[in-house]
Structure 1
């Protein structure tokens, strides 16, 4: 019989609960499941509790459920560190993904350097490419028939194409990159390690090439950039590029897929958007609130009290956005998807100093993807005889999403 996960001595019995992002029944790949609603049920309990086994590697963590307490954690970079080394540990190394795994004030100097690259103005310059790629992919689906598995045939190819364009790479290796993203984020330890090596080898080749052959792209910017009056090191360059790879692929594709999943199952809401295309931006914002995909995790840097629980230095603190985004104290009638919701202060892009660097681009990708889908695809539904599979974990999502528009 497997031993029970150990509860640290400093955790009182009344602060212990059960929750696992990977192993809880509601989190496992499930046909037509709803892991978001399952996490939202945590709001029926305490604002903070300790789960003895909640991370991918079986570590315990404090789970923070309410919007207010999550904001308290995520905005306090001094008390809650982002030091995790998730990517580098997969290859047996120890270096941070920059700036995600750095804390203030170190975090700020890199963030300031990168902010202009993903500003609304720079994102606007990418919109024609995103639109053209979305149209190309959708028209390709239509030419092949009246149904498609939209994650592998639309959502991921679109997100990866934008990433490649941002780096300045032709998309003739598109599906290879899609495979790397899937292996890195959704497979077992061996596959993750192999994928991490593939990503690094590719990025290192790009760094060397752009040093010899500069171009008008993100990688050239990095090899020429300076921080505090000095050039970035090769390690800093690849650490930043890794963040772009991780952050720009799975989460955007997942958001597009989850939106189409919801709309395919709710024809009345689909028609609402067809009848009122002007509300699409607010509808996308509302679906980001209802179906966020990430769970920021921090490490306590000191002993403290959080929500009446004794946090010790070194404890992990987990902030599942799926819980805070359904907090009734923050969102009236939180389980209703209201395309006209006002004051939509969700945390789908996290919160505080580590709020998603690419949020402007992510929003525009999702809006363009849905806008072009509605312009070219008639009313659609889940294909009869198929069952989309939802799952929790490092990034929540959906697969086997076969949509029919016959």
Structure 2
């Protein structure tokens, strides 16, 4: 059976004023557990779409049948190196994952929390001093996530706007802008790696260029693949999550005031908002011919596991379309599942929690500004822009 969800198919497609892409695709559970979408990837290829959470877990756990190796970033430049460890399969994936996991451990993130909080407060205080309205994505969400990234790399905040532009063009621009942004990002990563080889510092990139696996140093392509993943995966997705959360709270003043008055509830609330407003679909490539749920999938076919489908699966979550900020036992897959569970999940959670807490502590009751309409879009990463909030 062929089904086509325009909000879901192509990156950046179907931007909609006041749209709700998550609700728009929720009807998928009324149909078959797997269907074919003719154009669901940046390169225009069709994809088998897995709708049920339990079937997605089967796919994401079975790395021998469903490979992660695609080189999607490098292919945009006519090259063929993987983003690491995202586009590696076991056993190589496990080697790099073991190398990088300590950098993103809960202990390391807790140590970084004062810096995260400082960045959030600086941005929000400036907004609160100067105005009673702002574009929350442009003025807070993206600059906040970029500033945390720069702090993690040990770099100056002066290039914040440049990074925001690169990531925006890469994920939401036209083909020319995406290619130009990809080249700029690769150039920056290569330049920074070369600088740290010559002049080490106590930072992320120094660790990477000095690291060894199997008794050897990492190659230039391996260093580049790690740097690109951290830059791209850690910025837009976290900013999008903050944006969707802000939009929800702006439209639901009772929940907004609950979290404002009881900030200890924010951590649990964030888990529910991650479930309800998941932003990423994960693509795998069939490594062999297989019949999956009665469907013949051929070697080389793309298979999509969209978190926004799994996390609104009625067989997994009671009343999945209802957002319950006190929901318990929330086993969502917003950060993926299996060996490729997001390496930066601890950091992303902390950024979102800190960002919301500091915003609620500093900005009075806010709403979407009258006469404006936030633009939402589907695609490989669901997103939101033109989210104009106002307060008195």
Bin for the TM-score computed over the shorter chain: over 0.9
Aligned partner (choices 178, 183, 188) of residue 197 of structure 1: 183
Match of 2:146 in 1: 160
Match of 2:303 in 1: 317
Give secondary structure in 2 for the equivalent of 1:298. strand
Is 1:385 the counterpart of 2:371? The answer is yes
Q: Does the 8 Å CA contact 1:21/1:54 hold for their aligned counterparts?
A: no
Residue 200 (structure 1) shift: 1.0
Match of 2:64 in 1: 78
Match of 1:6 in 2: none
Distance in 2, matches of 1:20 and 1:58, equals 13
Per-residue deviation, residues 36-63 of structure 1 (Å, max 9, x unmatched):
0111111110111112222233211111
Distance in 2, matches of 1:23 and 1:219, equals 35
Q: Does the 8 Å CA contact 1:302/1:314 hold for their aligned counterparts?
A: yes
TM-score, normalised relative to structure 1: 0.94
Aligned partner (choices 284, 293, 314) of residue 307 of structure 1: 293
Q: Does the 8 Å CA contact 1:150/1:403 hold for their aligned counterparts?
A: yes
Residue 287 (structure 1) shift: 0.2
Give secondary structure in 2 for the equivalent of 1:338. coil
Aligned partner (choices 334, 338, 341) of residue 348 of structure 1: 334
Distance in 1, matches of 2:200 and 2:386, equals 40
Is 1:370 the counterpart of 2:331? The answer is no
Give secondary structure in 2 for the equivalent of 1:395. coil
Give secondary structure in 1 for the equivalent of 2:235. helix
Distance in 2, matches of 1:115 and 1:345, equals 22
Per-residue deviation, residues 129-184 of structure 1 (Å, max 9, x unmatched):
11001000001111221000010110000100111111111110100100000011
TM-score, normalised relative to structure 2: 0.98
Match of 1:90 in 2: 76
Is 1:38 the counterpart of 2:15? The answer is no
**Structure 1, unpaired ranges of 5+:** 1-14
Give secondary structure in 2 for the equivalent of 1:296. strand
Distance in 1, matches of 2:206 and 2:286, equals 36
Superposed CA RMSD in Å reads 1.4
Distance in 2, matches of 1:401 and 1:320, equals 24
Corresponding residue pairs, total: 392
Per-residue deviation, residues 51-83 of structure 1 (Å, max 9, x unmatched):
222223321111100110010111111110111
Q: Does the 8 Å CA contact 1:20/1:51 hold for their aligned counterparts?
A: no
Give secondary structure in 1 for the equivalent of 2:112. helix
Residue 304 (structure 1) shift: 1.2
Per-residue deviation, residues 234-291 of structure 1 (Å, max 9, x unmatched):
1111110000011110001111111001100111111221233221111000000000
Distance in 1, matches of 2:260 and 2:278, equals 23
Is 1:285 the counterpart of 2:271? The answer is yes
Per-residue deviation, residues 276-318 of structure 1 (Å, max 9, x unmatched):
3221111000000000100001011111121221111111101
Residue 20 (structure 1) shift: 4.2
Greater alpha carbon shift after TM alignment, 145-154 vs 225-234: 225-234
1:2-401 mapped onto 2 (5 Å cutoff): 15-21=1-7, 28-401=14-387
Q: Does the 8 Å CA contact 1:289/1:348 hold for their aligned counterparts?
A: yes
**Structure 2, unpaired ranges of 5+:** none
Closer, same or farther: CA 111–209 of 1 in aligned 2, 3 Å: same
Residue 23 (structure 1) shift: 5.4
Q: Does the 8 Å CA contact 1:22/1:56 hold for their aligned counterparts?
A: no
Residue 18 (structure 1) shift: 2.1
Distance in 2, matches of 1:389 and 1:52, equals 25
Give secondary structure in 2 for the equivalent of 1:302. coil
Q: Does the 8 Å CA contact 1:90/1:189 hold for their aligned counterparts?
A: no
Q: Which 4+ stretches in 1 moved above 6 angstroms?
A: none
Give secondary structure in 2 for the equivalent of 1:216. coil
